[in-house]
C-alpha cells in the first residue's frame, strides 16, 4: 500500500504515523533533495511548520531531527497554516517545505505534507522516490556538516504581510465572524482581517492541542451560522485545521460553499481582466448550477478529477489563474501556488467591499441544484466502466433529466465503493434517480 495519498501522508498519530516513520520520511526526503541540488557545496534549507495538534509536537521534532541529521538546515516556524509554508518556501528560496497537519481530520490524526522549491506540492514521482529510499543505508554527516535549526520568529508577520498585499480595497464597514477551527488560522486569520479593515469576531480561536476541528470549522458550520446570526454579521468565514480551505455563511445564515465562492471570484476576476482565457478550473463534483452560471457569464469551465492537486496541475499546464473545489479549496495563481483559505476569505470579502453588495446578492450569480450522493460499498468498483447495464441505466435517466440535471458515477480511489451522484431541479427527483441507480450498481457489481 502506498505511503503517500492524494495529499501527503495521513493517519492516526503514534499508530499509523509514528515518530520513527516521520524521521525516516524526513531523511529520505533530504537524500532526494541533496541529489536534486547537484551541488554538494550548498547546504539545503527546509521550512517546517505544523498545525495545533498535540501530536504535531513530537512529529515536528522527528522531522527536524531527520532533516538536520541528513545535513539540511531547518527553519522552524511553529504553528502556521499550510499555505503559509508553501508561501515561505517560495519567498525565501528554500529547497523544501514540510507541514505537519491532517487538515480537517479530528485531533488524534495527523499527517505530513511536502512542498518542493517554489512552494508547489511535491510531484507524485518525487513522493514515490522518497518512499523507495526509506530505510536505506546511508553515510551520516558529522561535525560542521550536520544541519542546524533556526527559529524563524518573523515567519507569521511575513505571511500576514503577503496576505494583505493581495487586497486592494479596504474592508472597513464589514463585520466578519471567523471560525478558526481551533487550528492554525487562530494565529493569522483574525489579525489579517482586522488589518484589512474589517470588524472581526473570532470564534474557535483558542487551540489547546486537542480541540482542533472538534464541532467547529469548515466541516461543522452550525456553530458559525449561529454566531453570524447572533452578531448580525455581514459574513461568516469557516476554515479547517490547517486553513487551506474556506467556506462562508451569508448574513441570512445560508451556506456559501466553494462552488459559490469560485463563481463569485471568477466573475470578479473577469471584470478586472484577471481571468486568463476567461476560464476557471473546477472538478467533476462541481454543482451543475455552477457550470450553468459560468456559461451564462461567458466563462469556460475545465473539469478535473476530485482533488486540489489536480486542479493545480491543470492551472499550471494551461497557465490559467483561478480554480477550486466545492469543499472550499480555492487556488489563485496570481497570489499563491496552493489553496489558501485566509487568502480566499480576504478576496471574497474584498468582492463585497468593491461591489458594495451583500454576500447573498453576490451569490445570486448561481442557483445550486439539489444534489444527492449515495455510496455503494462492497462492490467490484474496477468493473464500473465495463457494465453495459449500468451504462444503459445512466443513459435512460439522463434522458429523463433532459439537460435539467446531471449524473456522475465514480469509483472511490481508496475504498471498495462506487459513488453515485445525481443533481436535479428538486431533491425528490435527485433522490429517486440516485436510489434507482445505486440499486443497479449494487446488482451489477456485487
Q: Which residues are catalytic?
A: 103
CA dihedral defined by 10, 14, 19, 21, rounded to 10 degrees?
Answer: -50
DSSP state of 230: H
Residue 171 near residue 235, CB atoms below 8 Å = no
DSSP state of 409: E
Residue 122 near residue 114, CB atoms below 8 Å = yes
d(CA 24, CA 330): 32
Residue with cell 501527503: 8
For the chain, what's the residue count? 446
**Residue 252: HSE in the Cβ half-sphere, 13 Å Cα cutoff:** 7
DSSP state of 37: H
d(CA 391, CA 30): 48
Residue with cell 481571468: 275
Distances (CA, A) of 255 to 222, 249, 268, 273: 10, 5, 20, 28
d(CA 212, CA 418): 30
d(CA 229, CA 269): 30
Residue 190 near residue 202, CB atoms below 8 Å = yes
From the list 42, 8, 37, 50, the residue with the least C-alpha distance to 25 is 8
Order of strands, edge to edge, in the sheet holding 322-324? 300-304, 279-283, 322-324, 330-332
| N-to-C CA span, the chain | 24
d(CA 394, CA 381): 16
Residue 100 near residue 49, CB atoms below 8 Å = yes
Neighbours of 135 (CB within 10 A): 9
CA dihedral defined by 276, 166, 359, 367, rounded to 10 degrees?
Answer: 20
Neighbours of 126 (CB within 10 A): 17
Amino acid at each position: 500500500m502506498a505511503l503517500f495519498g492524494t495529499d501527503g501522508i495521513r493517519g492516526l498519530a503514534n499508530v499509523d504515523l509514528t515518530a520513527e516513520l516521520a524521521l525516516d520520511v524526513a531523511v529520505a526526503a533530504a537524500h532526494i533533495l541533496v541529489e536534486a541540488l547537484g551541488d554538494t557545496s550548498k547546504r539545503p534549507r527546509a521550512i517546517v511548520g505544523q498545525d495545533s495538534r498535540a501530536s504535531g509536537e513530537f512529529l515536528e521534532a522527528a522531522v527536524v531531527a531527520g532533516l538536520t541529521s541528513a545535513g539540511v538546515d531547518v527553519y522552524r516556524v511553529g504553528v502556521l497554516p499550510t499555505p503559509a509554508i508553501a508561501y515561505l518556501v517560495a519567498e525565501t528560496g528554500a529547497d523544501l517545505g514540510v507541514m505537519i497537519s491532517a487538515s480537517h481530520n479530528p485531533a488524534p490524526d495527523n499527517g505530513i505534507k511536502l512542498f518542493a522549491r517554489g512552494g508547489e506540492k511535491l510531484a507524485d514521482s518525487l513522493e514515490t522516490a522518497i518512499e523507495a529510499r526509506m530505510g536505506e543505508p546511508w553515510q551520516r554527516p558529522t561535525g560542521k556538516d550536520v544541519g542546524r535549526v533556526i527559529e524563524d520568529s518573523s515567519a507569521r508577520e511575513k505571511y500576514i504581510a503577503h496576505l494583505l498585499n493581495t487586497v486592494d480595497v479596504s474592508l472597513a464597514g464589514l463585520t466578519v465572524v471567523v471560525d478558526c477551527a481551533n487550528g492554525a488560522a487562530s494565529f493569522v486569520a483574525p489579525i489579517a482581517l482586522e488589518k484589512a479593515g474589517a470588524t472581526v469576531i473570532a470564534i474557535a480561536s483558542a487551540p489547546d492541542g486537542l480541540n482542533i476541528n472538534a464541532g467547529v470549522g469548515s466541516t461543522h458550520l452550525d456553530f458559525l451560522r449561529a454566531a453570524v446570526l447572533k452578531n448580525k454579521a455581514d459574513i461568516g468565514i469557516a476554515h479547517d485545521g490547517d486553513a487551506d480551505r474556506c467556506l462562508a455563511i451569508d448574513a441570512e445564515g445560508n451556506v456559501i460553499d466553494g462552488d459559490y465562492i469560485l463563481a463569485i471570484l471568477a466573475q470578479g476576476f473577469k471584470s478586472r481582466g484577471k481571468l486568463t482565457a476567461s476560464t476557471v478550473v473546477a472538478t467533476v463534483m462541481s454543482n451543475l448550477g455552477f457550470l450553468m452560471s459560468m456559461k451564462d457569464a461567458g466563462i469556460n469551465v475545465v473539469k478535473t478529477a476530485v482533488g486540489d492537486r489536480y486542479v493545480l496541475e491543470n492551472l499550471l499546464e494551461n497557465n490559467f489563474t483561478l480554480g477550486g473545489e466545492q469543499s472550499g479549496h480555492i487556488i489563485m495563481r496570481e497570489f499563491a501556488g496552493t489553496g489558501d483559505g485566509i487568502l480566499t476569505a480576504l478576496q471574497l470579502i474584498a468582492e463585497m467591499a468593491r461591489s458594495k453588495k451583500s454576500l447573498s446578492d453576490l451569490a445570486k450569480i448561481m442557483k445550486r441544484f439539489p444534489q444527492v450522493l449515495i455510496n455503494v460499498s462492497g462492490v467490484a468498483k474496477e468493473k464500473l466502466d465495463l457494465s453495459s447495464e449500468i451504462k444503459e441505466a445512466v443513459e435512460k435517466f439522463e434522458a429523463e433529466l433532459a439537460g435539467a440535471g446531471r449524473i456522475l458515477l465514480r469509483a472511490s480511489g481508496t475504498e471498495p465503493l462506487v459513488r453515485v451522484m445525481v443533481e436535479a431541479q428538486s431533491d425528490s427527483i435527485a433522490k429517486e434517480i440516485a436510489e434507482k441507480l445505486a440499486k443497479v450498481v449494487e446488482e451489477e457489481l456485487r
